[in-house]
Amino acid sequence: MANHYSSLKRVRITKRRTAINKIRKSRMRHAIRALRMALEKKDLAAAAQIMPKTFSLIDRAAKWGIIKDNTASRYKSRLHKRLKALEGAPSQA
């Protein structure tokens, strides 16, 4: 266990930052999950509406260091590719 005042303060800060990062990562993952569900249901309007908010959360998570830059790029690329494939597919109506 840390004994110095600065070490004790770092422990407190680390706990607080870990909690914040966990909330932010969870929020990002929920947004990705919602977008994937809209894509699976082939709901183009909902997916197009959710995508900018999801991409914003992914970009912010990368900026804050919660996920790496390449991971953020991969998530965005795969989601965008699925949306474009859905837009190009003939409608099932």
Show Cβ contacts of residue 54 under 8 Å, excluding neighbours closer than 6 positions: 28, 31, 32, 34, 35, 79
Domain architecture of the chain: domains with CATH: 5-87 (1.20.58.110)
Q: What is the distance between the alpha carbons of residues 50 and 61, in angstroms, rounded to a whole number? A: 17
Q: Which pTM value belongs to this model?
A: 0.85
Cβ proximity of 69 and 75 under 8 Å: no
Task: Per-residue pLDDT tens, the chain, 93 aa: give them.
Answer: 778 999 999 999 999 999 999 999 999 999 999 999 999 999 999 999 999 999 999 999 999 999 999 999 999 999 999 999 998 876 554
